[in-house]
Chain A
């Protein structure tokens, strides 16, 4: 399998990612450690990395509350993190 790189949009800015990586891995390697905010406004990021803890939820292609650890990056993907309260 050949690894290639392409861009996805994270909070409106292009981020270079490696094909085959999860959205969570791509965000972390781009130094994006805050994925969302709790009801009380606490900053949250991935904990389990395997779909159990639900801490890594982001908006992917306008669909909210998607687990970043379970989605593989795709060319043209748009990801919004909850740093602004989403």
Chain B
């Protein structure tokens, strides 16, 4: 699997931000890349998420991968256009109680071990940084290099890099199957040395056996309130909500957008592909937001919607060769971190295809691990 012939064909299935990133990395390596999407660029999960570039430490592997990918985003920034809306606003992980306050220093040290700048700030500094928050919060960990982007814009920027390198993007492609060294589109079979399945939450439909399930989330966006929210703000308990593969949970997460709007999350539930609003859960999510950020009580929410995160049972993405099908690589299962992790995912795949040594150890993310693990968690 070290095929490297310059100008050989590669097909990426899925023009979300992960597929676009993979296509950009492969085209940079000299592959002649075709991106196929059943709808159009960023039509799926990419356009309904929050758009954070955030370092997370749920596990050492997640920390290594998010820190690496956040660095790749900073390096890519000069090549992004205005439509990517890259805003290095930083993240504030807020502590509500003494136990969480005590945990901030450990989190800072963990981030430092991955060469990620972070700083513990006290309650007064937090009030200055975010006057809209509840005033009795005890402190926060500030991660200044985290950023917010507009994922559909960034996806288009990445696809433009693919086109500049001679690649093509085909919308409305009726992708029916991935076969050895090829993809069946409608009645024709396109041949390629390398195929990347980056079909997001729909990836298992093309590669049976991938343990990816849709994990639904709600988001709400306010009218424009410039300066009300200046950082991405996350409650320290967020990882608990994200980690437990339980039926329903909410966790406070807000983001400033370039328009002055505030994006409010988050919820998680396993309900298959039912995209309808769960009003009780939405209410719980918004109550949590208003509790931690009382300034939000006076805002108008202009839109709410749902989307599906591609979740895996062990909370790590699936990145690497899928040896059950010749030439096939998988780039998926990023759950809520697809925007952050898209660039590192692409680089790990491109490096392994080219026979280069990746910057971080790719083995924890190999999709082949699923053959040794528990089956996909059942959901109602």
Contacts and interface: CB of A to CB of B under 8 A. Distances in A.
Do A and B truly interact? Answer: yes
Interface of A: 39, 57, 63-65, 86
Given A63-B298, A65-B299, A39 B225 contact: no
B97 interface: no
A65 B225 CA distance: 8
B298 A39 contact: no
Interface of B: 223-226, 259, 298-300
Given A63-B298, A65-B299, A65-B300, A39 B223 contact: no
B259 A65 contact: no
A64 B226 CA distance: 10
15 contacts: A39-B224, A39-B259, A57-B223, A63-B298, A64-B223, A64-B224, A64-B225, A64-B298, A64-B299, A65-B223, A65-B224, A65-B225, A65-B299, A65-B300, A86-B226
A79 to B, nearest CB: 15
Contacts of A64: 223-225, 298-299
Contacts of B300: 65
A61 to B, nearest CB: 10
Q: Is the interface of A mostly helix, strand, loop or mixed?
A: strand
Nearest to A36: B224
Given A64-B225, A64-B298, A64-B299, 12 more contacts: A39-B224, A39-B259, A57-B223, A63-B298, A64-B223, A64-B224, A65-B223, A65-B224, A65-B225, A65-B299, A65-B300, A86-B226
- Which of A39, A57, A63, A64: most chain B Cβ within 10 A? A64
Contacts of B225: 64-65
Nearest to A39: B259
Contacts of B299: 64-65
Contacts of B259: 39
A77 to B, nearest CB: 16
Nearest to A64: B225
A32 B302 CA distance: 26
The 8 closest A-B pairs by CB, nearest first: A65-B223, A63-B298, A65-B300, A64-B225, A39-B259, A65-B225, A65-B224, A65-B299
Contacts of A57: 223
A39 B261 CA distance: 11
Contacts of A39: 224, 259
A86 B226 CA distance: 8
Nearest to B261: A39
A84 to B, nearest CB: 12
A39 B226 CA distance: 12
A28 B299 CA distance: 25
Nearest to B300: A65
Contacts of B223: 57, 64-65
A74 B300 CA distance: 21
A86 to B, nearest CB: 8
Contacts of A86: 226
A83 to B, nearest CB: 15
Nearest to B302: A54
Contacts of A65: 223-225, 299-300
Contacts of A63: 298
A39 B298 CA distance: 20
Nearest to A67: B300
A55 to B, nearest CB: 12
A63 B223 CA distance: 12
Contacts of B224: 39, 64-65
B97 to A, nearest CB: 30
A32 to B, nearest CB: 20
A64 B298 CA distance: 8
A86 B225 CA distance: 8
Contacts of B226: 86
Nearest to A65: B223
A35 to B, nearest CB: 14
Nearest to A38: B224
A82 to B, nearest CB: 10
